[in-house]
Chains A and B, each alone.
Chain A
């Protein structure tokens, strides 16, 4: 007769859990100097530890003592930086964490940008897309191309796709948008996909009828607000210099019809903006937003392949960014919740195990994997910036054409393979051993635009210069004041 024995689940004595005192072994990690006094150690799965400068030297030289350095030792163990067992018992856990960090790859392309028209009634001086007058129908996407774009979107393995309408000024082709929404809805139902619609608009030509349609179809509005009136109007030229007035009125109308949360705004940083970080933040607060995206100054169109000018502009942007971020933190210290979105994207990667959906900070990069652009003329580009380059007669990132190329040819074709060679920072010189690799990304389009080479040269890369400094600065802030880390965590929690 067999006897069934059940294991006891009672707590065991502490000696049951004692580990043999074997020397510790290193797990994969990278490190970087944060300040002259501190360095950050980042594990392969993104866990991190701020430690005194010289700690890595002690760690690698086997000078750490598990008794004398008990707290540090426990932190290193807990953060997957060392292991004190001969094998690595939590390798499966680490692998799951690693896979989670890359889970944005699971579903493939979500964001499908339809450039419904190039027509615009603004003449913004920094606009990278060559503008055409509002009455020129030749620059509007044809219905046949809308249909083909939707058909490709439905082939995406992603069960949740986003259809974003851009311009020019997208609302100048509102009838095209209505056609696209109706067709996409039917197709999404047939293919069992969830679909989100977004219209990017300056709101200058918005009408109650347009907003009613957006409300009926749950369309999100993304608009542009560059800052206070003088700055916005200086950046965004219009015949009557009334861009600001139309935008803020449009925001109010859209919120009234769609709801506050369905209207967002983005700013573009111009050279003039760099002089007004605090006024820009205050304008966003005044307009009732609870966050602002301090977007880096774009190298497209103004400097491109001038390393010196790009470096100077990036230095000025970083100064602007830190001043604005300081002001935002002051608001939070005073009890007002207000978030900076670029920092929040990076902080989500630093403070949580999860990836983000932001195209510019992913590895593999977000182009093709996360976004694709169908231009008004049927050309297909790898990202919005790739489309901007094309408007400057640089077609390096053109993937194909809606009339002539299949899904496989566009998404897995020779151009996509060429880009794939350089879209993972794990395999790029300068990035492969960088401590911030997990928090950063790869940007082949920007490197091609600014350096003439998709691979990029990190010592003069504005992408590297900007992201390295912002990430380092976020660590410095968290190290300087635990309350700042708490504020950062509240931003990350709110953005989920």
Chain B
């Protein structure tokens, strides 16, 4: 049904399924087309979409298409939250390492990491026989 006679939509979303952050991030993107009203309750969050004042027709969509878009967006933002939670530590570590002001040319410590012999040139004593050992001693010589 075209939304030329758009009536406000009210959604009740379970807090156990969607966090407040997911809901805010998701419906942030609806703010260009709709007035978005978010009302936190004890176990749920109510979201109301209505047309901005002075606007009589909704964007070119149908009730079904709008609901489908909302469902997909909620899933996507929930996934983004899960990815964010799971990877936050690595992201912080990555950025910290990227901008850390240091300069240590630490070659990888494996027997196959130096096939040309840059770090262990011919004839130079190398004390590493097993993996992951002794490189600092060689560097210190």
Residues of A within 8 A of B (CB): 4-9, 12, 25-31, 33, 44, 56-57, 60, 88, 91-92, 94-96, 98-99, 102, 307, 429-430, 433, 457-460
User: Is B112 a contact partner of A12 (Cβ separation < 8 A)?
Assistant: yes
B contact residues around A26 at 8 Å (CB): 83, 86-87
Residues of B within 8 A of A (CB): 25, 28-33, 75-77, 79-80, 82-84, 86-87, 90-91, 93-95, 97-99, 106, 111-112, 115, 120, 125-126, 128-129
User: Is A99 a contact partner of B86 (Cβ separation < 8 A)?
Assistant: no
User: Is A430 a contact partner of B28 (Cβ separation < 8 A)?
Assistant: yes
B contact residues around A29 at 8 Å (CB): 83, 87
With A7-B111, A88-B90, A91-B90 in contact, do A99 and B98 touch (Cβ < 8 Å)? Answer: yes
A contact residues around B125 at 8 Å (CB): 4
Q: Enumerate the 9 nearest inter-chain pairs by beta-carbon distance, A residue then B residue, closest first.
A: A459-B32, A95-B97, A98-B98, A28-B87, A28-B91, A7-B111, A99-B98, A95-B98, A460-B32
With A95-B98, A459-B29 in contact, do A60 and B91 touch (Cβ < 8 Å)? Answer: no
Q: Would you mind naming 19 contact pairs between A and B with Cβ atoms under 8 Å apart?
A: A7-B129, A29-B83, A31-B80, A33-B76, A56-B83, A60-B82, A60-B83, A88-B90, A91-B90, A95-B97, A96-B98, A98-B94, A98-B95, A98-B98, A307-B32, A433-B25, A433-B77, A433-B84, A459-B28
Known: A12-B112, A88-B90, A460-B31. 12 other contacts (CB 8 A): A4-B126, A5-B129, A9-B111, A28-B91, A31-B76, A57-B75, A95-B94, A98-B98, A99-B98, A430-B29, A433-B77, A458-B28
B contact residues around A33 at 8 Å (CB): 76
Of A9, A30, A457, which one neighbours B112 at CB under 8 angstroms?
A: A9
Of A7, A60, A88, which one neighbours B128 at CB under 8 angstroms?
A: A7
Q: How far is the CB of A98 from the nearest CB of chain B, in Å?
A: 4
B contact residues around A430 at 8 Å (CB): 28-29
User: Is B126 a contact partner of A28 (Cβ separation < 8 A)?
Assistant: no
B contact residues around A57 at 8 Å (CB): 75, 79
User: Is B31 a contact partner of A459 (Cβ separation < 8 A)?
Assistant: yes
A contact residues around B126 at 8 Å (CB): 4-7
User: Is A102 a contact partner of B90 (Cβ separation < 8 A)?
Assistant: no
User: Is A30 a contact partner of B94 (Cβ separation < 8 A)?
Assistant: no
User: Is B31 a contact partner of A28 (Cβ separation < 8 A)?
Assistant: no
User: Is B28 a contact partner of A102 (Cβ separation < 8 A)?
Assistant: no
Write the chain B residue with the least CB distance to A87: B90
Q: How far is the CB of B58 from the nearest CB of chain A, in Å?
A: 15
A contact residues around B30 at 8 Å (CB): 459
Q: How far is the CB of B129 from the nearest CB of chain A, in Å?
A: 5
Give the distance in Å from the alpha carbon of A427 to the alpha carbon of B106 in the complex: 32
Q: How far is the CB of B24 from the nearest CB of chain A, in Å?
A: 9
B contact residues around A30 at 8 Å (CB): 80, 83
Give the distance in Å from the alpha carbon of A464 to the alpha carbon of B31 in the complex: 14
Q: How far is the CB of B97 from the nearest CB of chain A, in Å?
A: 4
Give the distance in Å from the alpha carbon of A94 to the alpha carbon of B99 in the complex: 12
With A27-B87, A29-B83, A96-B98 in contact, do A457 and B128 touch (Cβ < 8 Å)? Answer: no
Q: How far is the CB of A6 from the nearest CB of chain B, in Å?
A: 6
With A7-B128, A28-B90 in contact, do A99 and B99 touch (Cβ < 8 Å)? Answer: yes
User: Is B90 a contact partner of A457 (Cβ separation < 8 A)?
Assistant: no
Write the chain B residue with the least CB distance to A9: B115
A contact residues around B82 at 8 Å (CB): 60
User: Is A429 a contact partner of B28 (Cβ separation < 8 A)?
Assistant: yes
Write the chain B residue with the least CB distance to A56: B79
With A7-B128, A60-B82 in contact, do A44 and B94 touch (Cβ < 8 Å)? Answer: yes
Q: How far is the CB of B60 from the nearest CB of chain A, in Å?
A: 12
Q: How far is the CB of A31 from the nearest CB of chain B, in Å?
A: 8
A contact residues around B120 at 8 Å (CB): 6
Q: How far is the CB of B140 from the nearest CB of chain A, in Å?
A: 17
A contact residues around B86 at 8 Å (CB): 25-26, 60
For A7, A9, A12, which residue has the most chain B Cβ atoms within 10 angstroms? A7
Write the chain B residue with the least CB distance to A461: B32
User: Is A60 a contact partner of B94 (Cβ separation < 8 A)?
Assistant: no
B contact residues around A458 at 8 Å (CB): 28-29
Of B32, B84, B94, B112, which one neighbours A91 at CB under 8 angstroms?
A: B94
A contact residues around B97 at 8 Å (CB): 91-92, 95
Give the distance in Å from the alpha carbon of A102 to the alpha carbon of B86 in the complex: 24
Write the chain B residue with the least CB distance to A434: B80
B contact residues around A98 at 8 Å (CB): 94-95, 98
B contact residues around A4 at 8 Å (CB): 125-126
B contact residues around A99 at 8 Å (CB): 98-99
B contact residues around A60 at 8 Å (CB): 79, 82-83, 86
Q: How far is the CB of A291 from the nearest CB of chain B, in Å?
A: 32
B contact residues around A94 at 8 Å (CB): 94
Write the chain A residue with the least CB distance to B33: A459
Give the distance in Å from the alpha carbon of A26 to the alpha carbon of B80 in the complex: 12
With A12-B112, A95-B97, A459-B28 in contact, do A433 and B80 touch (Cβ < 8 Å)? Answer: yes
Write the chain A residue with the least CB distance to B106: A92
Give the distance in Å from the alpha carbon of A437 to the alpha carbon of B30 in the complex: 20
B contact residues around A460 at 8 Å (CB): 31-32
A contact residues around B112 at 8 Å (CB): 9, 12
Give the distance in Å from the alpha carbon of A458 to the alpha carbon of B106 in the complex: 43
Give the distance in Å from the alpha carbon of A429 to the alpha carbon of B31 in the complex: 13
User: Is A28 a contact partner of B28 (Cβ separation < 8 A)?
Assistant: no
For B33, B75, B98, B129, which residue has the most chain A Cβ atoms within 10 angstroms? B98
Give the distance in Å from the alpha carbon of A433 to the alpha carbon of B87 in the complex: 13
Of A8, A28, A307, A429, which one neighbours B94 at CB under 8 angstroms?
A: A28
Give the distance in Å from the alpha carbon of A30 to the alpha carbon of B80 in the complex: 7
